[in-house]
Structure 1
Amino acid sequence: MSSNNRIEGVILDWAGTAVDFGCFAPVNVFVDIFKQAGIEVTMEEARGPMGLLKIDHIRAMLSMPRVSALWQEQHGRPFNEQDVEVLYAKFEPALMTNLSHYTDPIPGVIETVDALRAEGLRIGSTTGYTSKMMEVVVSHARTKGYSPDCVVTPDDTGSYGRPYPYMIYRNMEQLKLSATWKVVKAGDTVSDIREGVHAGVWTVGVVIGSSELGYSQEDFDRLSGAEQAEAVAQTRKVFMENGADFCIDRMNELPSLIEEINGKLSRGLRPGCECTR
């Protein structure tokens, strides 16, 4: 196989993919700030826009028909941009106070990254967190054994976070990756999948530990085998419907998947091609 036709780098999401099993750090804060504004949102509504820049996430929640109607009912008018900013002003400090507690690497991630690096791959990352938030996450994750080669936040791309592809391109620039089709993006939300699709890279949904799956490690382990299988199948379906090239249950499946992708590259296949599914 020609060395020119091989994956050069992997770009991972942070919360729900590399750290914070179930992506719980932001979810509870979203629920709390809406409750303070007199609106009871569900966990599903709080998780729906996960992966977006957090102020965009709040705007997306307020735009949901049910939440929008509740806001109108509670406040006597539709929400406006000032409401988005007021909610975000409450969200950021609340998240910052508990963020450090949600930085444990998800099982298998450290070993997977070591295996990928041993194959000569570079490890990048994108996130819906701001640079200020990532200072906390990166430093704590590093002490626990996880540290990618590159960290790009929406602050580095003019606040154009997901689903725009610019954070991936910035990773490619910093890591000197030569072509989009030699890059794999792995993430745990619909926003991650759309980011990868828009960038033209190989896009992989990671199911167990994902925000989309929505379980803590303990709650997932408590499910019966049949319940786990059903939850995993539903999450995979969502990722594939949004354009993922592949889904894996856990991160430790990534090295063998990359070998499979290298085989496809050697046959001239590219991301997004229906024949890769």
Structure 2
Amino acid sequence: MISLAAFDMAGTTINDGGAVYRALEDSVTEAGVAVSPENLQTWMGVEKREAITALIELGGGVADEDLVGATFARFRALLDEYYTAEPPTPVDGVPEAIAALQSAGIKVALTTGFSREVAEGILAGLGWTVGPADATETGASAPAGSVRVDALSCGDDVAAGRPAPFMIHRVMEATGVTDVANVLVAGDTAVDVRSGLNSGAAISIGVLSGKLDRASLEAERPTAVLDSVAAIPEYLGV
């Protein structure tokens, strides 16, 4: 029985119009390094300093501490600019899916390659909250359109980001889930799927709400490929 569903953020639960891709590519390009579409896709979903380091090196640059730090700062600034111009929105059907899972007794957590500061800013902009359910609040009394998730783990919370399994294990700890056989993981990138598989989660799902196509996700050998997180309650039969 699944007792915890751990979902990626951008491209999986949140539609950001591809802003993360653009900010990552533009920040590295501004640092004087060319970024290929293949390399950009490979490093999506990874903790962003690590992704910047890899993309600089793959483009023939020298990823010293100063350059990585300056490029990361520029990434943050560009992402804020792009999100201000086009604020992120929930992926269609995801708030309802989260509510359905929680109503069935399944805790829902988010994991992300963003830093905690960035992730919390995005969630605040959406009006989403993180934490245990208020014993006095029922689904009927919660504000219309509100979303609460049980836990959040970010790229700077752990020793290594995806495809390492540590963010998944961190939200297991936060929600009191001790058995990976009770965990479902879903994300829209190859490293999301790999992280789920590396964690030992019972189910690791690739979703098509991001930029990656079905064949590329299936190449990672997930448990299943679904159109969206919105399809997960039906997939689980809840």
Report the TM-score range of the alignment, normalised by the length of the smaller protein: 0.7 to 0.9
Q: Contact between 1:152 and 1:167, CA under 8 Å: does it hold in 2?
A: yes
Change (3 A) 1:112 1:125: same
Counterpart CA distance in 1 for 2:31 and 2:119 is 27
Q: Which residue of 2 is the match for residue 106 of structure 1?
A: 91
1:203 and 2:188 matched: no
Q: Which residue of 1 is the match for residue 149 of structure 2?
A: 148
Percent identity at matched positions?
Answer: 27
Gaps of 5+ in 2: 129-144
The correspondence for 1:88, drawn from 72, 79, 84, is 72
1:79 to partner: Cα distance: 4.4
1:27 to partner: Cα distance: 1.4
Q: Which residue of 1 is the match for residue 233 of structure 2?
A: 255
2:108 alignment partner, SS class = strand
Which segment drifts farther, 121-130 or 240-249?
Answer: 240-249
Q: TM-score, normalised by structure 1?
A: 0.73
Q: Contact between 2:53 and 2:63, CA under 8 Å: does it hold in 1?
A: no
Matches within 5 A, 1:116-195: 116-142=101-127, 145-158=146-159, 160-195=160-195
Which segment drifts farther, 42-51 or 196-205?
Answer: 42-51
Q: Which residue of 2 is the match for residue 54 of structure 1?
A: 48
Change (3 A) 1:102 1:162: farther
**Structure label with greater radius of gyration:** 1
Q: Deviations over 1:225-248 (max 9, x none)?
A: xxxxxxxxxx22222222311110
Q: Which residue of 1 is the match for residue 100 of structure 2?
A: 115
1:8 and 2:17 matched: no
RMSD (CA atoms): 2.1
Gaps of 5+ in 1: 1-5, 72-77, 213-234, 261-277
Which segment drifts farther, 97-106 or 39-48?
Answer: 39-48
Q: What is the aligned length?
A: 220
Counterpart CA distance in 2 for 1:111 and 1:177 is 23
1:102 to partner: Cα distance: 3.8
1:109 to partner: Cα distance: 0.4
Q: Contact between 1:19 and 1:102, CA under 8 Å: does it hold in 2?
A: no
Q: Contact between 2:28 and 2:52, CA under 8 Å: does it hold in 1?
A: no
Counterpart CA distance in 2 for 1:85 and 1:161 is 17
Higher helix share: 1
1:139 to partner: Cα distance: 0.6
Q: Deviations over 1:156-191 (max 9, x none)?
A: 224x21111111111111111131011000100111
Change (3 A) 1:20 1:79: same
Q: TM-score, normalised by structure 2?
A: 0.84
Code of the residue aligned with 2:29 in structure 1: it is K
The correspondence for 2:12, drawn from 7, 14, 17, is 17
Q: Which residue of 2 is the match for residue 239 of structure 1?
A: 217
Counterpart CA distance in 2 for 1:172 and 1:110 is 21
Q: Deviations over 1:112-164 (max 9, x none)?
A: 11111121111011001001101211111226633311111122224x21111
Counterpart CA distance in 1 for 2:181 and 2:54 is 31
1:126 alignment partner, SS class = strand
Counterpart CA distance in 1 for 2:119 and 2:218 is 29
Counterpart CA distance in 2 for 1:115 and 1:138 is 20
